Amino acid sequence: MLLLMLLFQLSMLGNSEVVTSFENTCPQFFFRETPPNDAIKPANPAQICQLYKNQYRFATLYDRDHRIPIYSAYVYQPGYGKRPNSWMVEPQLMGSNYQKEMATEWILLNDIGVDQGLLNESQAVLRDYKNLTNFNRGHLNPNGHQPDPDYKAATFTLTNIVPQFMNLNSGKWNNYEQEVMMSRTEGCATTYVVVGVVPGNNYIAGGRVNKPSHMWSAACCEIDNNHRKSWAVIALNDQNAVELLTLGELEEKLAELYRKEEILLFDSDCPRQ
């Protein structure tokens, strides 16, 4: 009986959706409430409105097959607070009958009685990131861009991280996240950010988790009702270097890398130059 239940739950993985659309559930994390177009959507996606302590904190497009996020979208609101030390996973990736709020693996396995095999099949788990060489857990939505301890804690979900080149993560990418973003957002009333990756040809954890070939980030800043500005960066995920681009240049680069005709990361009201 237990085996039949497990097989049934596994059969539902490809069909369950965390949310049917970002626009209907958590549009507030996107400029003009408009997510990136479908050109970068993976073959087997999950749209996650990241829920923590009964509040949506940011949005993530997750690639179920590669077990990595394709992008996370959020509003830039840097604030003070300690770096969290516990990691969470997304129960709904196991099936729509599971809780909507992110939780630690320990709670799911020990308090709720989730099957370890079902959890492992649905997403990346902590074990996948053990004993890495030259790579570590790289946030898309960094805790340093969030305003308080609860928002910061919410970024510590494995659906928000990818294997990132260690020197890049602690080097030029970290410099962009902290210093460049602070400088660029001067005068901005609201800054919408989308941080993403391009899936690569290599994997960690015995082929379970994709190692992206590129990391990228784009920002759309609203100065007032009539004035906006934007900027973007891209980085190879095996070098400690970050290239500063216009939003239009990044979209063109991503279209080449994804072999798509057009990629739009923000609504057309965000300037491309």
**β-bridge partners, 217:** 195, 233
Q: Is residue 12 part of a domain?
A: no
How many CB atoms lie under 10 A from the CB of residue 246?
Answer: 15
What's the total number of domains in the chain? 1
Q: Is residue 153 part of a domain?
A: yes
Report d(CA 203, CA 247) in Å as an integer. 29
Q: Is residue 238 part of a domain?
A: yes
H/E element holding 57? Answer: strand 55-63
DSSP string, 33-56: G-PPPGGG--SSEEEEEEEETTEE
Q: Is residue 90 part of a domain?
A: yes
Q: What pLDDT shows up at residue 17?
A: 53
Q: Is residue 11 part of a domain?
A: no
Q: Is residue 263 part of a domain?
A: no
Overall pTM > 0.85:
yes
pLDDT in tens, the chain (273 residues): 444 444 434 333 333 358 999 999 999 999 999 999 999 999 999 999 999 999 999 999 999 999 999 999 999 999 988 888 899 999 999 999 999 999 999 999 999 999 999 999 999 999 999 999 999 999 999 999 999 999 999 999 999 999 999 999 999 999 999 999 999 999 999 999 999 999 999 999 999 999 999 999 999 999 999 999 999 999 999 999 999 999 999 999 999 999 999 999 999 999 999
Q: Is residue 2 part of a domain?
A: no
Provide the domain limits for residue 145: 17-258
Q: Is residue 224 part of a domain?
A: yes
The enclosing domain of 204 has a CATH number of 3.40.570.10
Q: What pLDDT shows up at residue 160?
A: 98
